[in-house]
A = this chain, B = another copy of it.
């Protein structure tokens, strides 16, 4: 059985998913594409034998499309497509962030709960990264005792002029907001965002860079996270979990090392599609397998909501002199997501 997939949005991440679905995922077929840039849609359609749709709604409605991927920019456009997919009862994979507001996420959660069945998976691919998976197994198995602290960095080589101070949280730290509480298996209690006085000369007037975030969980695990999006060195993701009996560190993958000119060096990935290539592949394969089996298991709308509520608290802290802000989730997690 082959799953006919339609992809809405063919930008940086969308085009990466197009290639993935068309050439690397078992049981998947790229059946349809659409983008505001028609020529882009035509290009991929031709290359992989898919159909071009006029717009996302048409694609979702098409009887030739079994399941939908929403990879549109700007991110606020996610919401309408995800809601429409729920309405017509189709499985939908939505790149992170689910939407840009907690209210929007809540609307999706409510729609899905009303529908009565999980249809939405959010693109928090790090949960599929072999490194994070290995750390989660160690934590779940208490291999090194109880986790006490996490030190994390989320660094990008560079960002463009449209990336502003708010995006350090909502575009970037959101990954850690999701993956770290998932690692620990518990919710956050509070968070802070501190803007150090000294910034890199490689930033611009609209972007405070770097930023320092902390999160504390219900049980009291303390997390610090450096967000630095103009590091000039590459996409440098680190995560060190300090446990009672040992420390487990995420390691950036490399396949060779080189000795040259008085230095022995290994490679740092240039961006997220390179660093998390395996994670993205495993994520999509799991989603396709889940849809074909009519039972998906990946990050939920609720996870999307939790991440956004967390980001909101961090933004509030940033705007209030790094004050500690409680992270309060809506009433209770619907049974659908247990």
Q: Which of A129-162 contact B (CB under 8 A)?
A: 129-131, 134-135, 138, 144-149, 151, 153, 157
Instruction: Assess the A221–B196 pair: CB atoms within 8 A.
Output: yes
* Stretch in A63-71, A172-180, A251-259, A297-305 with 4+ CB within 8 Å of B: A251-259
A245 to B263, CA, bound (A): 12
Pick out which of these stretches binds chain B: A39-47, A116-124, A198-206, A329-337: A198-206
A270 within 8 A of B: yes
B255 pairs with A251, CB closer than 8 A: yes
Nearest first, the 9 closest Cβ-Cβ pairs linking A and B are A197-B220, A198-B220, A265-B265, A131-B255, A246-B260, A196-B222, A263-B265, A247-B259, A130-B255
A257 contact set on B, CB distance < 8 A: 248-249, 251
Does B262 contact A246, Cβ atoms closer than 8 Å? no
A320 contacts B by Cβ under 8 Å: no
Within 8 A of B (CB), among A160-211: 194, 196-202, 210
Given A232-B261, A244-B232, A289-B23 contact (CB < 8 Å): yes
Q: A316 in the interface, Cβ–Cβ < 8 Å?
A: no
Minimum CB–CB distance for A196 against chain B, Å: 4
Among B247, B263, B270, B289, the residue within 8 A (CB) of A231 is B247
Q: Taking each of A26, A151, A248, which has the highest tally of chain B beta carbons within 10 Å of its own beta carbon?
A: A26
**CA A202 – CA B148 in complex, angstroms?**
12
Contacts of A232 in B (CB 8 A): 244-246, 260-261
Of B28, B135, B262, the residue contacting A26 (CB under 8 A) is B28
- Bitwise, A267-299 to B at CB < 8 A (1) or not (0) is 111100000001000000100010000000000
A196 near B220 with CB under 8 A, answer: yes
Q: Contact check, B255 vs A148: say whether CB atoms are below 8 A apart.
A: no
17 pairs from A and B in contact (CB 8 Å cutoff): A25-B26, A134-B256, A147-B198, A149-B212, A157-B262, A196-B216, A196-B220, A196-B221, A196-B222, A233-B245, A233-B247, A233-B259, A234-B262, A236-B259, A262-B270, A263-B265, A264-B267
Q: Contacts A24-B26, A212-B224 given: A256-B196 contact, CB under 8 Å?
A: no
A91 located at the interface, meaning its Cβ lies under 8 Å from any Cβ of chain B in the complex: no
